[in-house]
Amino acid sequence: MAMIYADHNWRPERALELAKAELEIRKDIYTYDALAWALYRNRRYDEAKTAIAEAMKLGTPEPMFYYHAEQIALALGDDPRAAKYGRKLKDLNPEFRP
Cut 0.75: pTM above it: yes
Coil, helix or strand at residue 95 = coil
Q: What is the CATH number of the domain that holds 29?
A: 1.25.40.10
86 in a structural domain: yes
| Position 98 pLDDT exceeds 90 | no
Based on the structure, what is the number of domains in the chain?
1
Distance of alpha carbon 85 from its chain centroid, rounded? Answer: 12
22 in a structural domain: yes
Q: Which residue in 85, 72, 38 sits closest to 30, CA to CA?
A: 38
30: containing domain: 2-92
Asked if 40 contacts 69 with a C-beta cutoff of 8 angstroms, the reply is no
7 in a structural domain: yes
42 in a structural domain: yes
pLDDT digits (tens, 9 = 90+) for 51-68: 999 999 999 999 999 999
Asked if 39 contacts 27 with a C-beta cutoff of 8 angstroms, the reply is no
97 in a structural domain: no
Helix (H) or strand (E) holding 91: helix 79-92
Average pLDDT over residues 23-30: 96
